[in-house]
Amino acid sequence: MAVKKDRKLIANNKKAYHDYLIEEKYEAGIALAGTEVKSLRMGRCSIKEAFITVKDGEMFIEHMHISPYEKGNIFNKDPLRTRKLLLHKREILKIAGQAAQKGYTIMPLQVYFMEGKVKLEIGLARGKKLYDKRADIAKKDMRREAEREMKIRLR
């Protein structure tokens, strides 16, 4: 029997789904300071401008903004500091190898709490062309229009 894991969403990167085609998703932990975790519990996080880099066999997230904790005073860290991602070595090598291919990048998709721990969902993504974006917008409009028609018919 599969146990459903409880997720509490903190931040979502909607822009990543609009600008990129997500091929694979991975879950990673983040090395954080105590005041950063408290700030995340209050929902103060943004990953819109964030990106992921691989250096010396380790993965880091850069430009992830975690607002300083109000009561943290001297223990607060820089809101935009580079944070280490916690993944197994073989996962890092696999993801880095796939990202080295032409047109692929590693994008942060969601930050959430799972069983009391902060997790980051990252995705192996390929950039969309302008016509792909237009096609997605057209599909959404058609689906919205169909839902509107169904709602009118049900009344």
Apex 124 CA angle, 5 and 62, nearest 5: 90
Encode pLDDT of 23-48 as tens digits: 889 999 998 888 888 888 888 888 88
Dihedral of CA 69/26/8/15: which sign?
positive
Yes or no: say if 61 and 82 are a contact pair by the CB < 8 Å rule.
Answer: yes
Sequence-ordered list of residues with C-beta below 8 angstroms from that of 101, at least 6 positions apart, any chain: none
Q: Which segments of the chain have a pLDDT < 50?
A: none
Report pLDDT for 117: 87
